[in-house]
Structure 1
Amino acid sequence: MKKLLLPLLAAHPLLHAQLPVSPGAELTLASEGFKFTEGPAADAQGNVYFTDQPNDSILKWSVETGKTSEFLKPAGRSNGLFFTPEGKLIACVDENGELWSLDPASKEVTVLLSGYDGKLFNGPNDVWVDPGGGMYFTDPFYKRPYWEGREKPEQEKQRVYFLPKGAGKPVVAEDTLKQPNGIIGTADGKTLFIADIGSGRTYRYKIGADHSLGEKELFCEMGSDGMTLDAAGNLYLTGKGVTVFDKNGVKLGEIPVPEGWTANVAFGGKEMKTLFITAMDSLYTLEMSVQGSRGADGRK
């Protein structure tokens, strides 16, 4: 397997001096040959599922073999993924604006949602499942070349929705953002982070007992495509490589990725200490000194 050293980290030690990267770790090319990788999510065993939206497929990186194989194709042009506490894979399905639940064993698909108030979603993008099984998901509008007859969004706003566990209709959780994209919550289910990529900011919200969101608080002056959290409370944002902030919004450093765009990031692997990075046509890994947050992967 080809390994890529981190020359930018070596050349600019201040970029990573405080990052929880395992000593001597190298950015490793785990898999390539796709068109645009997105949505990594780890199951309870550490296997990582991710999407290749232009190729309409969901891929699986195996914790046992270290190899990637096709999991599902066609896959509704899936984008963001996340696992429920029960082990079901939730997919933001962009082709027809849906939210799916997938059984990893049988690959059976259950359509959870297909719109709001009788209108198509803009395009569900990223999803986070809270400890109780409720789902917060972003719905920005990005016009896709495979849509026919959809030049404008049917929804009047680009919102964040919440779907209570077992419910058939979502509620609006946030509708004041310009273009919400990445989303992740903490393991205790009390805090939610949402990246407004349209305004170049990421916000933090307190989650109420009724699952409503409190007043938005500016976390950092940076937007993000996808995001994840580690067990120390550090937040990982994507775009130009990976940028890491501590729990107080202080920038710890950057992880350069040799691609034009870094779309998303998640922890996986046997010890949940491997950072998986989806960037353009590739999947990269980097060994870290900290585990991913239990609120950001498929562990119970």
Structure 2
Amino acid sequence: MVFESHYLNPLPAWLNSTAAKWAWVSLTAFANLPGQFNRTIFDAPWATDTDNSILLKTLNHVNTNDFVAYDERFFEIIGADTTVKHIQHLAYQSHEAPCYIPETNQLLFVEWGKPGGDDGIHKWQYLLDIENNTLRKIITNPPTYNLHGCVHFQGQLYGVTDGYGDNETGKLVQIDPHSWKATTLLNNFLGQPFAGFNDLEVDPEGNFWLTDSKSGWGRGIVDFTPPNDPSIYFVNGTTMQAKVVWTTSGNANGVAMGPNGKTLYVPDSGVSEFRPSYKNPYGRRMVWAFDVVGRGAVLAGQRLFTSPVSYFYDGIRVSGEGWVFAGSGDGVDVIDPESGFVLGSIRLGGGENVAVSLAFGENELWIVGKGGVWHVKDIKTKLKRDW
């Protein structure tokens, strides 16, 4: 049955028989709403309070859909065959650092932060077998504590950690996905400990971009006061020479590079305050875009790329065709790399589910967050990049 409303555009005919549920929001209709309405930045549009019964019925309907489009290009990016399935139901604890391993068809990810683990210390990672959807815990050798971000590059996994307590600073590790041997590549900046890494990216030349954040300190994983403001470190993958290329008074969160290796995207999530922990609606929740200059160790042209429709962006990845995917509240937004407009959202079902981070396959992606793991498969656009 097709739901009709003044606030929704009619779907393309080829979507009417799909397994997934779709809605196409009419932005012209939403531009002038009747009566009273309100929502906070932490609520999705379909959680808007309104005294208009027609609008309320429409919002309730949109909340039942798997995909919400704001722009017709979203249909061609996702395609008619795509489905969203909640494949692992886990506790409403943040899950992070998803890495798809194509050589073994497995997904590595972690439960992050307190509570959980052993007194909040996580020395194990989840390993999901994609073929049969079985989940087990693995421990690297030696153990990798409090993994927070992960990327797959040339057959190896590269991860960053928060460190833990006074025993270990945040570090960059290489993990062999067959033997699970872990090798520390970097754990200090010429004697200065890192605050605790949140995420990382690898560029086409094998150099690393690391976001050093205050999240680990904020959750009590790291005891010492962060030694500097949240920053991005560039690390030469051959010499391991490191330098700070950007700092913020907010919080350096995810990081992703465009398919040509010349644009870097960084969500600033200063909206999250710590000790005490709360969400400040006046804090930073934008995504910055930078030009990568010359051989890569310098950023220029900082500009406000976008801010989310709701919540704040956490994990971020760029597809092989340049579309920006970012976890935000109850779903993943797909963003136009030129205008910064949100084209549509892949939803996780609402409620307590929260999209935190994501990993790409060829034409499929996995979303991890509060509530477990979701598999989005048979996506039309190419997600995997060329390196």
Which residue, 115, 132, 147 being the options, matches 2:188? 115
Match of 2:359 in 1: 266
How much has 1:38 moved relative to structure 2? 0.8
- SS in structure 1 opposite 2:63? helix
Pair 25,174 (structure 1): closer, same or farther in 2 beyond 3 Å: same
Gaps of 5+ in 1: none
**2:90 maps to 1:33:** yes
1:132-156 per-residue CA deviation (whole Å, 9 max, x = no partner) reads 1100010110225554642x212x2
The question of whether the paired residues in 1 share the 8 Å contact of 2:319 and 2:383 is answered with yes
Aligned match of 2:321: 232
Cα 1:64–1:255 change in 2 (3 A) is: closer
- Structure 1 pair 33–251 and aligned structure 2 pair: CA distance change class (3 A): closer
User: Percent identity, aligned pairs only?
Assistant: 22
The equivalent of 1:215 in structure 2 is 301
Cα distance in 2 for residues equivalent to 1:163 and 1:14: 38
Q: Are the equivalent residues in 2 in contact too, given 1:47–1:61 (CA < 8 A)? A: yes
Letter aligned with residue 268 of structure 2: D
Match of 2:374 in 1: 284
Q: Distance in 1 between matches of 2:238 and 2:175?
A: 15
Q: Which amino acid aligns with 1:291?
A: K
Distance apart, 1:197 and its partner CA: 1.5
CA contact under 8 A between 1:9 and 1:256: conserved in structure 2? Answer: no
Task: Spell out the pairing of 1:1-300 with structure 2 (5 A cutoff).
Answer: 8=63, 10=65, 14-15=69-70, 17-19=72-74, 20-34=77-91, 35-45=93-103, 46-53=105-112, 54-55=116-117, 56=122, 57-72=124-139, 74-85=143-154, 87-95=155-163, 96-142=169-215, 143=217, 145=219, 147=221, 149-150=223-224, 152-154=225-227, 156-176=228-248, 178-198=250-270, 199-211=284-296, 212-222=298-308, 223-240=312-329, 241-248=331-338, 249-257=340-348, 258=350, 259-268=352-361, 272-287=362-377, 288-294=379-385, 300=387
> Under a length normalisation based on structure 1, what TM-score does the superposition of the two structures give?
0.86
Using the size of structure 2 for normalisation, the TM-score is 0.68
Q: Give a deviation string over 1:249-292, Cα, whole Å, max 9, x none.
A: 12101222233422101212xxx211211121401011221121
- The 8 Å contact of residues 204 and 218 in structure 1, kept in 2 or not, is answered as yes
SS in structure 2 of the partner of residue 153 of structure 1: coil
Higher RCO structure (Cα 8 Å, ≥6 apart): 1
How far off its partner does 1:47 sit? 3.1
Contact 1:158 1:178 in 2 (8 A): yes
Counterpart CA distance in 2 for 1:12 and 1:244 is: 11
Number of residue pairs matched by the alignment: 288
Q: What are the Cα deviations for residues 64-100 of structure 1, in whole angstroms up to 9, with x where unaligned?
A: 3343332336531101101223x22111111231111
**CA RMSD in angstroms, aligned pairs only:** 2.6
- Aligned 8 A contact 2:259 2:318 in 1: no
